[in-house]
Structure 1
Amino acid sequence: MAALPYGVAKVYGHYMTINYRESYGMHASSGVLFNHESPLRGPEFVTRKISIAVARIALGLQEKLTLGNIDAKRDWGFAGDYVEAMWRMLQQETADDYVISTGETHEVREYLDIAFNHVGISDWEKHVYQDPQFFRPAEVDLLIGDSTKATEALEWKPTLSFDGLVKKMVDSDLEIEKAKAGK
């Protein structure tokens, strides 16, 4: 149920931004940002949960990773690119609303494949377990955004590929886990 209040709060914030812009003439833009990831993402998010586990498995500090639905598809982009988009929104003469996304969809399974292969583990399936308790009851099968408006009006597009994002996150967690382990 945690996702429901989170989603409702986001919709509320979006419409309040529009309300203040239209009612009070404020220069207030709203961005609908699809999943934006980085090494700073919290460990409770699947991308970071995977990058930490992959690093630990590669270093011999962990054996397995337990996940929910690895067939879920998401539009993941680099948070740094999304910050650039937000900055560009605020530079516009007229405030507006924009969708910020990569326009690509990738399965959790694909994230796993890139992450494990990056550390030299091709048979990752033996390390990954799916647990039904981690499946979301109201799972959205496919999330993908259309940032055409942002591309045209803001002259913005993502610069870091999905492959590059996964590797960046794994590399960061490899360094963190090596430091923790004194390696």
Structure 2
Amino acid sequence: MATKRIIDDDRLTAVGLLVEVHRGLTQKFAARLARHGLSENELEIMLRLGRTPNCQLRMSDLAAQTSLTTSGVTRVVDRLERAGLVERASCDTDRRGTWAVLTEAGLDRVTAAVADHIEDVDRWYTGLLTPEQLTALTEALRIVRDTVRPEAVAGVMEAERARPRRHVGV
């Protein structure tokens, strides 16, 4: 009887598949995002802002929520700001803090990109699963995310309590 080798452990298969899926999806999504003039990082920043109360997050919370470093977020926000898609605002509750705020033009751009992106997400990911599989996968991924990256929801509650800015339709 053969002994199962540690390198054949199913846990390695599970994490390996997750990495392979992420890489594959990133490649599949890139072309259509480029047609909207957005990189994956820019889309992530704009989606996080657009899905947050008042379409704003502190820069430090935006870094905590994304896969980017603080300086990486600054560079992406700089590009988005030059394009008129994001603006910065002073944070009333933290003098050292700065809000990144999605502009009307930014909301329009991310909304247009997301319409196509959803098609790709459905074609290459969610549409391949039954509703039950998708629910189970989402719940499982949230458990893992909340354990390995609890900061991924950083600043959301503060953004809800922040002095309301203009609402940009979100």
So what's the TM-score if we normalise by structure 1? 0.27
Instruction: Please identify which structure carries the higher strand content.
Output: 1
The structure with the largest helix share of the pair is 2
